[in-house]
Chains A and B, each alone.
Chain A
Amino acid sequence: MTILRNTIRGALAAALLCSACIAAQAAGTVKIAYIDPLSGAFANVGEAGLKHFQAMADEINAKGGVLGKKIEIVVVPFDNKTSPQESLSQLKRVIDQDIRYVTQGNGSSVAGAIIEAVNKHNERNPGKELLYLNYAAVDPAFTNEKCSFWHFRFDANSDMKMESLTSWMAQNKSIKKVYLINQDYSFGHAVKKAAREMLNRKRPDIEIVGDDLHPLGQVKDFAPYVAKMKQAGADTVITGNWGSDIALLIKAAKDAGLTAVFYTYYGGGLGALPAIGEAAEGRVKQVTEWHENIVPNKTEKFAVSFENKYKVDFYYLRVRTMMLMLADAMNKAKSDGPKEVALALEGMRFEGDTGEVEMRKTDHQLIQPLYLSTVYKTAAKGGPKEVKYDVENTGMGFKTDARLEGYTSAQPTSCQMKRP
Chain B
Amino acid sequence: MEFFLVQLLNGVSYGLMLFMLASGLTLVFSLMGVLNFAHASFYMLGAYFAYQVSTKVGFWPALVIAPALVGGLGMAVERWGLRSVHRFGHVAELLFTFGLAYLIEETVHLVWGRNAVEYRVPRELDGPLFSIMGSQVPTYRMFMMLVSVSMLVAIWIALTRTRIGLVIQAALSHPQTVEALGHNVPRVFMLVFGGGAALAGLAGVIGGNAFVTEPGMAALVGPIVFVIVVVGGMGSLAGAFVASLLIGIMQTFSVSLDWSLAGLFSQLGWTVTSQTPLAALWNVRLSQAAPVLPYLLMVLLLIFRPKGLMGTREG
CB atoms of A255 and B214 under 8 A apart: no
The stretch that binds A, out of B112-120, B264-272, B302-310, is: B112-120
Does B287 count as interface, using CB distance less than 8 angstroms?
A: yes
Partner of B7, one of A224, A271, A274: A224
Does B138 count as interface, using CB distance less than 8 angstroms?
A: yes
Does B167 count as interface, using CB distance less than 8 angstroms?
A: no
B142 to chain A, nearest CB (A): 11
Partner of B110, one of A6, A224, A256, A394: A6
Does A206 count as interface, using CB distance less than 8 angstroms?
A: no
- CA–CA, A215 to B291, complex, Å? 7
CB atoms of A277 and B214 under 8 A apart: no
- Given A256-B135, A277-B120, do A220 and B220 touch, yes or no (CB 8 Å)? yes
Chain B interface, DSSP helix/strand/loop, else mixed:
helix
Does A227 count as interface, using CB distance less than 8 angstroms?
A: yes
CB atoms of A256 and B138 under 8 A apart: yes
CB atoms of A221 and B10 under 8 A apart: yes
- CA–CA, A109 to B290, complex, Å? 25
Chain A residues within 8 Å of B17, by CB: 221
Chain A interface, DSSP helix/strand/loop, else mixed:
helix
* 0/1 interface trace, chain B 218-253, chain A, CB 8 Å (1 if under): 011100100000000000000000000000000111
CB atoms of A247 and B116 under 8 A apart: yes
Does B175 count as interface, using CB distance less than 8 angstroms?
A: no
- Given A213-B288, A221-B14, do A271 and B115 touch, yes or no (CB 8 Å)? yes
* 0/1 interface trace, chain A 204-216, chain B, CB 8 Å (1 if under): 0000000011110
CB atoms of B211 and A248 under 8 A apart: yes
Does A27 count as interface, using CB distance less than 8 angstroms?
A: no
* 0/1 interface trace, chain B 122-143, chain A, CB 8 Å (1 if under): 0000001001000110101100
Closest to B118 in A: A274
Most buried by A among B118, B135, B212: B212
Does B216 count as interface, using CB distance less than 8 angstroms?
A: yes
Chain A residues within 8 Å of B140, by CB: 255
Does A228 count as interface, using CB distance less than 8 angstroms?
A: yes
CB atoms of A217 and B220 under 8 A apart: yes
B7 to chain A, nearest CB (A): 5
Does A59 count as interface, using CB distance less than 8 angstroms?
A: no
Interface residues on A, range: 35 or more
Chain A residues within 8 Å of B156, by CB: none
Does B3 count as interface, using CB distance less than 8 angstroms?
A: yes
Chain A residues within 8 Å of B224, by CB: 220
* 0/1 interface trace, chain B 8-31, chain A, CB 8 Å (1 if under): 001101100100000000000000
Chain A residues within 8 Å of B253, by CB: 224
Does B6 count as interface, using CB distance less than 8 angstroms?
A: yes
CB atoms of B113 and A2 under 8 A apart: yes
CB atoms of B110 and A227 under 8 A apart: no
A-B contact pairs, 29 of them (CB 8 A): A2-B111, A2-B113, A6-B110, A6-B111, A41-B219, A212-B287, A214-B291, A218-B291, A220-B220, A220-B224, A221-B10, A221-B252, A223-B252, A224-B7, A224-B10, A224-B255, A224-B256, A227-B3, A227-B256, A231-B3, A244-B212, A248-B211, A248-B212, A251-B211, A255-B140, A257-B131, A271-B116, A274-B116, A277-B118
Beyond the given pairs A214-B288, A274-B116, 8 more chain A to chain B contacts, judged by CB atoms under 8 angstroms and listed by A's residue number, are A6-B110, A215-B291, A217-B216, A223-B10, A223-B252, A227-B7, A251-B211, A274-B117
- Give residues in A with beta carbon < 8 Å to B: 2-3, 5-6, 9, 41, 43-44, 47, 184, 212-215, 217-221, 223-225, 227-228, 230-231, 244, 247-248, 251, 255-257, 270-271, 274-275, 277, 392, 394
